[in-house]
């Protein structure tokens, strides 16, 4: 029995800009809050150690400084290729009364990944005046800083390529009188396995 499914939680503490409206940009992260079988590389690539179905949830703080509402789109890429039907469009309010327009774009999406696959969040916008914004600690009232982007990743289930189920332990080979048990990658930390042998 596997007692601790893989997971990861990441955030970014910087502003992220779009240099033009015709380029796709990867959402980047500079802080790993929790990591167990999910690692961050190159600022944007989330690599998983184990094959399966993964639940990915993001929250992105957009800012618009123009006098018109603007759109931003967010989608997923796997191993450098766009994932079909993974795009979402968000309309960010215009600046009003000297206050920039703001919007939190949030969504969860399930991705099927093999061991050592990576995925990225991509974004584009209709105006270079739209950015992904972080905010420092605020006062009156005192409140914490706002990350520009947050991403959490949770292992949801086996992808059906083996009999691992949700626990990640399965008989990968068996003969009369013996069997080989396989489980999540050893890079997944804090594991406890229990086996029942039936004669």
**For residue 146, what is the DSSP state?**
B
Q: Tell me which H or E stretch contains 71.
A: strand 70-78
pLDDT in tens, 97-150: 999 999 999 999 999 999 999 999 999 999 999 999 999 999 999 999 999 999
Q: pTM of the predicted model, to two decimals?
A: 0.81
């Amino acid at each position: 029995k596997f007692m601790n499914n893989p997971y990861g939680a990441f955030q970014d503490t910087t502003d992220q800009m779009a240099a033009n409206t015709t380029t796709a940009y990867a959402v980047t992260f500079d802080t790993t809050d929790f990591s167990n079988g999910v690692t961050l590389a190159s600022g944007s690539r989330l690599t998983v150690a184990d094959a399966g179905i993964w639940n990915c949830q993001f929250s992105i703080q957009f800012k618009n400084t123009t006098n018109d509402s603007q759109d931003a789109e967010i989608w997923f890429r796997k191993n450098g290729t766009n994932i079909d039907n993974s795009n979402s469009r968000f309309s960010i309010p215009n600046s009003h009364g000297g206050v920039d327009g703001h919007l939190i774009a949030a969504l969860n999406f399930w991705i099927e990944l093999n061991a050592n696959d990576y995925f990225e969040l991509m974004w584009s916008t209709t105006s270079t005046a739209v950015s992904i914004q972080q905010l420092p600690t605020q006062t009156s009232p005192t409140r914490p800083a706002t990350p520009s982007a947050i991403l959490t990743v949770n292992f949801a289930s086996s992808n059906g390529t083996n009999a691992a189920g949700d626990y990640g332990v399965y008989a990968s080979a068996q003969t009369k009188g013996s069997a080989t048990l396989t489980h999540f990658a050893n890079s997944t930390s804090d594991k406890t396995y229990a086996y029942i042998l039936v004669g």
